[in-house]
Protein backbone atom coordinates (compact mmCIF):
# COMPACT_ATOMS: atom_id res chain seq x y z
CA UNK A 1 0.00 0.00 0.00
CA UNK A 2 1.42 3.36 -0.93
CA UNK A 3 1.93 5.99 1.75
CA UNK A 4 -0.62 8.43 0.33
CA UNK A 5 -3.44 5.83 0.14
CA UNK A 6 -5.87 5.96 3.07
CA UNK A 7 -7.28 2.88 4.73
CA UNK A 8 -11.07 2.68 4.67
CA UNK A 9 -12.64 3.42 8.05
CA UNK A 10 -14.83 0.32 7.84
CA UNK A 11 -14.54 -2.77 5.78
CA UNK A 12 -17.49 -4.28 3.93
CA UNK A 13 -17.78 -6.98 6.57
CA UNK A 14 -18.04 -4.35 9.31
CA UNK A 15 -20.80 -2.54 7.42
CA UNK A 16 -22.78 -5.78 7.08
CA UNK A 17 -22.45 -6.43 10.82
CA UNK A 18 -23.66 -2.92 11.70
CA UNK A 19 -26.57 -3.19 9.26
CA UNK A 20 -27.56 -6.60 10.66
CA UNK A 21 -27.49 -5.28 14.23
CA UNK A 22 -29.64 -2.31 13.26
CA UNK A 23 -32.11 -4.61 11.53
CA UNK A 24 -32.34 -6.86 14.60
CA UNK A 25 -32.85 -3.83 16.87
CA UNK A 26 -35.66 -2.43 14.69
CA UNK A 27 -37.33 -5.85 14.44
CA UNK A 28 -37.14 -6.23 18.21
CA UNK A 29 -38.72 -2.82 18.82
CA UNK A 30 -41.51 -3.59 16.35
CA UNK A 31 -42.16 -6.96 17.99
CA UNK A 32 -42.43 -5.38 21.43
CA UNK A 33 -44.81 -2.69 20.16
CA UNK A 34 -47.12 -4.93 18.14
CA UNK A 35 -47.02 -8.19 20.08
CA UNK A 36 -47.23 -6.85 23.63
CA UNK A 37 -50.66 -6.52 25.21
CA UNK A 38 -51.88 -2.95 25.50
CA UNK A 39 -51.11 -1.98 29.08
CA UNK A 40 -52.14 1.66 28.62
CA UNK A 41 -55.68 1.44 29.94
CA UNK A 42 -56.33 5.16 30.01
CA UNK A 43 -58.75 7.20 32.03
CA UNK A 44 -61.98 9.10 31.52
CA UNK A 45 -63.86 12.10 32.85
CA UNK A 46 -67.61 12.02 33.41
CA UNK A 47 -69.33 15.40 33.20
CA UNK A 48 -72.75 16.52 34.37
CA UNK A 49 -73.40 19.76 32.57
CA UNK A 50 -70.08 21.55 32.42
CA UNK A 51 -68.77 20.16 35.72
CA UNK A 52 -66.53 17.14 36.18
CA UNK A 53 -68.63 14.63 38.11
CA UNK A 54 -65.92 11.99 38.42
CA UNK A 55 -62.55 11.00 36.98
CA UNK A 56 -62.08 7.24 36.57
CA UNK A 57 -59.43 4.76 35.49
CA UNK A 58 -60.31 2.29 32.75
CA UNK A 59 -58.17 -0.28 34.54
CA UNK A 60 -60.79 -0.92 37.24
CA UNK A 61 -64.14 -2.53 36.32
CA UNK A 62 -67.00 -0.64 37.94
CA UNK A 63 -70.46 0.87 37.48
CA UNK A 64 -70.93 4.55 38.22
CA UNK A 65 -74.45 5.76 38.96
CA UNK A 66 -75.16 9.40 38.18
CA UNK A 67 -78.39 10.28 39.96
CA UNK A 68 -79.37 13.92 39.42
CA UNK A 69 -82.71 13.62 41.18
CA UNK A 70 -86.09 14.09 39.47
CA UNK A 71 -85.74 10.58 37.96
CA UNK A 72 -82.68 11.61 35.90
CA UNK A 73 -80.23 8.71 36.16
CA UNK A 74 -77.38 7.42 34.00
CA UNK A 75 -75.20 4.39 34.56
CA UNK A 76 -71.68 4.45 33.14
CA UNK A 77 -69.89 1.12 33.13
CA UNK A 78 -66.20 0.32 32.85
CA UNK A 79 -65.33 -3.21 31.85
CA UNK A 80 -62.17 -4.73 30.35
CA UNK A 81 -60.57 -1.33 29.63
CA UNK A 82 -63.61 0.16 27.90
CA UNK A 83 -66.21 2.66 29.10
CA UNK A 84 -69.82 2.95 27.96
CA UNK A 85 -73.25 4.23 28.99
CA UNK A 86 -75.02 1.05 30.09
CA UNK A 87 -78.40 2.70 30.65
CA UNK A 88 -80.10 6.06 30.98
CA UNK A 89 -83.50 7.51 31.77
CA UNK A 90 -83.32 9.72 28.67
CA UNK A 91 -86.13 9.14 26.16
CA UNK A 92 -84.13 8.35 23.02
CA UNK A 93 -81.29 6.15 24.39
CA UNK A 94 -78.84 7.59 21.85
CA UNK A 95 -76.09 7.57 24.49
CA UNK A 96 -76.55 3.86 25.16
CA UNK A 97 -76.42 3.14 21.44
CA UNK A 98 -73.10 4.96 21.04
CA UNK A 99 -71.31 1.88 22.37
CA UNK A 100 -68.03 1.66 24.20
CA UNK A 101 -64.86 3.70 24.01
CA UNK A 102 -61.40 2.29 24.63
CA UNK A 103 -57.84 3.29 23.85
CA UNK A 104 -57.99 0.75 21.00
CA UNK A 105 -61.17 1.91 19.24
CA UNK A 106 -61.73 5.63 19.81
CA UNK A 107 -60.19 6.63 16.46
CA UNK A 108 -62.81 4.58 14.55
CA UNK A 109 -65.83 6.05 16.38
CA UNK A 110 -67.93 8.88 14.97
CA UNK A 111 -67.70 10.86 18.22
CA UNK A 112 -64.12 9.64 18.77
CA UNK A 113 -63.43 9.87 22.51
CA UNK A 114 -66.89 11.09 23.62
CA UNK A 115 -70.23 9.61 24.68
CA UNK A 116 -72.99 12.20 24.92
CA UNK A 117 -76.41 12.08 26.61
CA UNK A 118 -77.94 15.43 25.64
CA UNK A 119 -81.30 15.10 27.46
CA UNK A 120 -79.61 14.34 30.80
CA UNK A 121 -76.57 16.56 30.10
CA UNK A 122 -74.11 13.74 30.90
CA UNK A 123 -70.97 13.29 28.83
CA UNK A 124 -68.08 10.88 29.05
CA UNK A 125 -64.67 11.86 27.70
CA UNK A 126 -61.89 9.35 27.20
CA UNK A 127 -58.72 11.17 28.26
CA UNK A 128 -56.17 10.84 25.49
CA UNK A 129 -52.46 10.46 26.26
CA UNK A 130 -51.39 13.64 24.47
CA UNK A 131 -53.82 15.67 26.60
CA UNK A 132 -51.87 14.85 29.76
Q: What average pLDDT does the structure give for the chain?
A: 86
Return phi, psi of residue 79, to 5°.
Answer: -150, 130
Nearest Cα to Cα of residue 52 among 127, 129, 130 = 127
Q: d(Cα 111, Cα 72) in Å, to the nearest integer?
A: 23
Q: What is the pLDDT of residues 70-105, one digit of tens each?
A: 999 999 999 999 999 999 999 999 999 999 999 999
Residue 127 in contact with residue 43, Cβ under 8 Å? yes
| pTM as predicted | 0.68
pLDDT value at 11 more than 70: yes
Amino acid sequence: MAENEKKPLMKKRDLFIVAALLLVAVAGMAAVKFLSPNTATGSAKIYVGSYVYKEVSLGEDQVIEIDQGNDIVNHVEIKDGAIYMSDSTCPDQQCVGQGEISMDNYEQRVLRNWIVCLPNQVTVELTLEDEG
